[in-house]
Structure 1
Amino acid sequence: MCGVLGLLLHDASADAAPEISEGLSLLQHRGQDACGIVTCGPKGRFFQCKANGMVRDVFDEKAISKLVGGMGVGHVRYPTAGSSNHAEAQPFYVNSPYGIVFAHNGNLIDSPSLMQFMDATAHRHINTSSDSELLLNLFANNLQQTGKFRINEDDIFTAIGGLMKQCTGAYACVAMLAGFGIIAFRDPNGIRPIGVASRRNNSGNDYLFASESIVADALGFGEWEDVKPGEAVIITRSGVSRKRVAEHTTFTPDIFEFVYFARPDSVLDGVSVYRSRMAMGDALAVEVDKILKERGMTVDVVIPVPDTSRVAALNLAQKLNLPYREGFIKNRYVGRTFIMPGQQMRRRNVRRKLNAMALEFSGKNVLLVDDSIVRGTTSKEIIQMAKDVGAKKVIVASCAPPIRHSNVYGIDMPSRSELVAHGRDTEEIAEAIGADLVIFQTLPDLIACVRQFNSSIPTFDCSVFTGEYVTGGVSEEYLHQLELLRAENVKNKVVVNSRESKGEGSRVNGFHDQESAIVSSAINRADDTVGLHNTWNIS
């Protein structure tokens, strides 16, 4: 899962980087591994800064001051199939043809065959294991087929349409062509989100692409519209061009965006994330009431697991006429444990992140409400924390159904054996995480909670619950290979973090950190580069 952003200011003499950095900070929840910005300045010159780390750490005042130009692309990264090597921080760049910068959220499921095509037919070198670089080179190769000195919007639409026929998976992408404009497109199923907004100023319109509408709200942009499935949008200082470039398929956005990933103050595909989570709480309350009565159990207090489940937990408590209390105090300087590499690191950070208040737990039957239960690591630690401070019984209610299958579209649920619900029934899940009872939202109720706010969405990608992958092409062999790849990348990252904490060097993908820094220093930090320069003319 990643966050992407593109910005074009009508005033070419202004600098887009400060607002891109601010926008990326609003998308930080979508990726905390790495971030990057590339801007386009005078004469189509690119200026770049990207590195591992959080937005606030990478983009200090000095770095932003060196990112020149009135349009740019930004990215926050959370690696899934790729590694955590800082060489894979985005946006990516190719100088031929025309100079293209590219940022991507999602995951391709046919990377091996595409890599073979790049090597044997397109003769383009892919330098990393990232499918984002693969997508960039597919786009570049299709543009190169025009053979033109100057290209136009129709050429770009054709290139993107060709890309959508070539690759399979989930992708929401933002690109920038030197001296030309910014581009966004979305996979034919619309699995990953992206939208466009505009802002009027004295001289004309500024335009924004972003993964979530909150960025537009915070930066003063209005008229937010979602990029449609299979659609490409091209924005230049002359205006906006939109075209559906893929054959019609079923619109299936990922329902897990509404359960967990997106901010509650965002609107995705016409659905308020906040209102959908309120509805999840109402529906879950009915299921909880039914099961508690069947078991002859009672609850004294409802406590949310901060932060994503708060909205649902409050609605659940109100519907059941139960007290709602904040029993966990959160350290806001620890990242999201779900997207941390390795079970040991997640477990350690749960205790650093949350502290249970005995006042709200001691002697009580507690209903903990969580957005979902994935690996069970966080749930197990939280339940034990509640019991350590005196809870009599701990019942867990999940806003999502049991997650039993891997996600192949850009969310890191790598190994089915790591998923606590895989191969277990509800009773066994409760035993595994130490709960007295676990209650799950039903899948029909979850779908209804989201779809009621936009009935034009026919269905959702629910593959993590059902194992049914909307794009097809997901074989058992593919899942096995993906699990092996991700497990190896997690292991590498844990080793890197451990060594870095001791001040030692580390190896990722065969390169020593110092060697890698030497190779990439010219492009990884803005203060080490005066820009990536090209002189192609595009119109």
Structure 2
Amino acid sequence: MSDALKHECGIALLRLLKPLEYYKEKYGTAFYGIQKMYLLMEKQHNRGQDGAGLASIKLDMEPGERYISRVRSNQSQPIQDIFMQINGRINEEMALHPEYTDNVALQKAEIPYIGELFLGHVRYGTFGKNSIESVHPFLRQNNWMHRNLIVAGNFNMTNVSELFNSLVEVGQHPKEMADTVTVMEKIGHFLDDEVDDLYFKCKNEGYSKREASPVIAERLDIAKILRRAAKNWDGGYAMAGLLGHGDSFVFRDPAGIRPAYYYQDDEIVVVASERPVIQTVFNVKFEDVKEIEPGHALIVKKDGRISDEEILAPLPKKACSFERIYFSRGSDAEIYKERKELGRLILPAVLEAIDEDTDNTVFSYIPNTAETSFYGLVEAAQDFLNQRKNNYILKNKDTLTAQTLQELLSVKIRTEKVAIKDAKLRTFITEDSSRDDLVAHVYDVTYGVIQPTDNLVIIDDSIVRGTTLKKSILKMMDRLNPKKIVVVSSAPQIRYPDCYGIDMAKLEGLVAFQAALELLKERGLYSIVEEVYAKCKAQEHYKDKDVVNYVKEFYAPFTDQEISDKIGVMLSSSDINAEVKVIFQTVDNLHIACPKNLGDWYFTGDYPTPGGNRVVNRAFINFYEGNDARAY
């Protein structure tokens, strides 16, 4: 993707179902869980490089023995940093105490992070400072083992203020209005309630306070706690939690916006944000890795019982389509096929743009995530060319010579790796023109492969702001002297902000919004902007369920092609000689290519939760009033 997008986040939960001695005997080490957690997190580094954290729990520890460990980092390579810290502690203890070497019981008792339950997280900070306090997992501590709560998630809530106020109403004093803290305290509040209720029941049954503690842990109803806590959540989330005594859960939002997959056998239960991560780390088959259903929680009790519980009634499934277009690793079999299909389906629009002149067209892609859709585009172009050859042969079969046939069959679709992404350049000069010159060199080109009579078709997986296209890619492509540059987006036009975890919070930052705004001005329709603002403003104090997305009316006067053409004009600076054409995928084709991930609100404005409509209206109000603030 030429415009970098940040995105929250990646989770990994691992529960070992056997005693640690089992893993020592079978795999040669009691550190099996730590090793697997490193792989689970490293294989998801694409989901977050601003911070990483890991928490572990040791089961059945005696009072006074440490049973929870946590480490977090916001260094430049946070995953490596936290595991260097962990390995440092382990190596230090092993060096000081040789007697630990073959004694698993001593290793567990004395060495941190050697346990049976783990929760890891990788993070992109979509807003605010990237402080260590923002890095998951979050820990809610208590001297009662089962009141300790560790939370990490891939999520964003649209109604943080409402959730915060509900905590204040029950007498709490949260330390900040952040969705992670608010969600953790919400779960914690009902966890405390459940523990209190169970304690009084145990007391009435004749248990002493000490005897009651393990009974409470056994009887804790995690599903009940989650149902009470999540009653008013509005957002996209895959929420993972550990309780100090050893229960754990992963809970997915009812629209299935954020992904979560799991695998279980008699040795482990593992959850991750992406399927191929589990496949690779544990060498299991595609079909053995299951998806947590929307609105459901996978719950693992301390005693190893595993259940799949419905927490909230599922909504129409709107799994994030950007997971398939861009975020998730393309090593997932389904995602790989879907990305190729996105390239294949856009070929007819490309052929129209080049007047079907494939002989004088070079196909390429913007590194690196657009490579798979490029393969689909080229395969479809080759099919088109083969059909053209077949038609010619059938039409001229009586006069066709061997030489003509050889010449015909030698014609191929021309592909080149034209764009090359250079190492990240530091924009250490603050003066605007100097910084722009550095940005212009983020990409380099392969010279000598384009003729002045050629079209250059270059595919990207999506176009968000268009900044890198305008300041770097198009200028570099123009140096090759093509006749025409056709920029192809395998995703549709991004018109609306995201509020479920992707860093697209402001309307004015979207190039499609900028293009529609210019068209409104040019055609004397700016009154529509004022009308949309008035309608959005009038809904400011409505309940979320009553809010309508009036920002759709901002785009209504124009066809998709008109906006695409305007984007092409806006991205072409005066010093570009080639004609520039911009093509976007259609929403219908997106749904054909990615039938299981129908979350398309960034393209259509059809938000899967009521909070989305409030967010998009607030984003428009902020734009109109010149308020440089996030809409949620």
Normalised-by-shorter TM-score class: 0.7 to 0.9
Other-structure match for 1:138: 186
The CA distance in 1 between the partners of 2:253 and 2:436, in whole Å, is 35
Letter in 2 for 1:439: I
Q: Deviations over 1:42-70 (max 9, x none)?
A: 52721111121334542343434543322
Letter in 2 for 1:48: R
Other-structure match for 1:112: 161
The CA distance in 2 between the partners of 1:486 and 1:54, in whole Å, is 34
The change in CA–CA distance for 1:124 and 1:8 in structure 2 (over 3 A counts) is farther
1:360 counterpart = 2:458: no
| Alignment check: 8 A CA contact 1:36 1:76 kept | yes
Q: How far off is 1:81 after superposition?
A: 4.9
**1:23-422, aligned counterparts within 5 Å?**
23-41=40-58, 43=61, 45-52=67-74, 53-66=76-89, 67-81=113-127, 83-96=129-142, 98-127=147-176, 129-146=177-194, 147=196, 148=198, 149=213, 150-152=216-218, 155-199=221-265, 204-220=266-282, 222=284, 223-236=288-301, 237-266=303-332, 272-293=334-355, 300-321=361-382, 322-331=413-422, 334=424, 354-361=443-450, 363=452, 364-380=454-470, 381-422=472-513
The change in CA–CA distance for 1:88 and 1:450 in structure 2 (over 3 A counts) is same
**Scaled by the length of structure 1, what TM-score is found?**
0.79
Letter in 2 for 1:470: P
Q: Deviations over 1:403-456 (max 9, x none)?
A: 0110011100121101111142111111222271001111001111111xxxxx
The change in CA–CA distance for 1:427 and 1:398 in structure 2 (over 3 A counts) is same
SS at match of 2:162: helix
Letter in 2 for 1:41: K
Q: How far off is 1:359 after superposition?
A: 3.0
Letter in 1 for 2:183: L
The CA distance in 2 between the partners of 1:382 and 1:4, in whole Å, is 34
**Scaled by the length of structure 2, what TM-score is found?**
0.68
The CA distance in 1 between the partners of 2:313 and 2:619, in whole Å, is 27
Number of residues of Structure 1 aligned to a counterpart in Structure 2: 466
SS at match of 1:358: coil
Q: Deviations over 1:15-38 (max 9, x none)?
A: 323321221111111111111111
**Counterpart selection for 1:6 from 13, 28, 50:** 13
Other-structure match for 1:449: 593
Q: How far off is 1:256 after superposition?
A: 1.2
Structure 2 stretches lacking a partner, 5+ long:
1-7, 21-29, 90-112, 199-212, 383-412, 426-431, 516-562, 573-578
The change in CA–CA distance for 1:393 and 1:210 in structure 2 (over 3 A counts) is same
SS at match of 2:170: helix
The change in CA–CA distance for 1:279 and 1:346 in structure 2 (over 3 A counts) is farther
Q: Deviations over 1:72-100 (max 9, x none)?
A: 11111112255422210111110146211
The change in CA–CA distance for 1:168 and 1:226 in structure 2 (over 3 A counts) is same
Q: How far off is 1:119 after superposition?
A: 2.1
Letter in 2 for 1:219: V
SS at match of 2:420: strand
The CA distance in 2 between the partners of 1:334 and 1:113, in whole Å, is 41
SS at match of 1:5: strand
More strand by share: 1
| Alignment check: 8 A CA contact 2:217 2:245 kept | no
The CA distance in 2 between the partners of 1:154 and 1:37, in whole Å, is 24
The CA distance in 1 between the partners of 2:621 and 2:173, in whole Å, is 24
The CA distance in 2 between the partners of 1:198 and 1:243, in whole Å, is 16
The change in CA–CA distance for 1:151 and 1:60 in structure 2 (over 3 A counts) is closer
The CA distance in 2 between the partners of 1:62 and 1:233, in whole Å, is 30
The change in CA–CA distance for 1:352 and 1:239 in structure 2 (over 3 A counts) is farther
More helix by share: 2
| Alignment check: 8 A CA contact 1:164 1:187 kept | no
Other-structure match for 2:524: none
The change in CA–CA distance for 1:358 and 1:176 in structure 2 (over 3 A counts) is same
Letter in 1 for 2:459: V
The CA distance in 1 between the partners of 2:509 and 2:360, in whole Å, is 30
Aligned-residue CA RMSD in angstroms? Answer: 3.0
The CA distance in 1 between the partners of 2:258 and 2:358, in whole Å, is 40
The CA distance in 2 between the partners of 1:157 and 1:303, in whole Å, is 50
Q: How far off is 1:214 after superposition?
A: 1.8
The change in CA–CA distance for 1:305 and 1:416 in structure 2 (over 3 A counts) is same
Other-structure match for 2:619: 479
> More displaced, 129-138 or 273-282?
129-138
Letter in 1 for 2:335: V
Q: How far off is 1:260 after superposition?
A: 0.9
Other-structure match for 2:5: none
The change in CA–CA distance for 1:82 and 1:101 in structure 2 (over 3 A counts) is farther
Q: How far off is 1:251 after superposition?
A: 1.3
In our comparison, the structure showing a higher alpha carbon Rg is 2
SS at match of 1:35: strand
> Between the two proteins, what is the percent identity of the paired residues?
24
| Alignment check: 8 A CA contact 1:299 1:367 kept | no
Letter in 2 for 1:325: E
The change in CA–CA distance for 1:298 and 1:242 in structure 2 (over 3 A counts) is same
The CA distance in 2 between the partners of 1:110 and 1:238, in whole Å, is 35
| Alignment check: 8 A CA contact 2:507 2:620 kept | no
SS at match of 1:165: coil
The CA distance in 1 between the partners of 2:626 and 2:183, in whole Å, is 19
Other-structure match for 1:467: 605
Other-structure match for 2:570: 432
The CA distance in 2 between the partners of 1:216 and 1:486, in whole Å, is 43
The change in CA–CA distance for 1:196 and 1:348 in structure 2 (over 3 A counts) is farther
Q: How far off is 1:154 after superposition?
A: 6.2
The change in CA–CA distance for 1:416 and 1:312 in structure 2 (over 3 A counts) is same
| Alignment check: 8 A CA contact 2:52 2:79 kept | no
SS at match of 2:317: coil
Letter in 2 for 1:442: T
The change in CA–CA distance for 1:348 and 1:192 in structure 2 (over 3 A counts) is farther
> More displaced, 92-101 or 257-266?
92-101
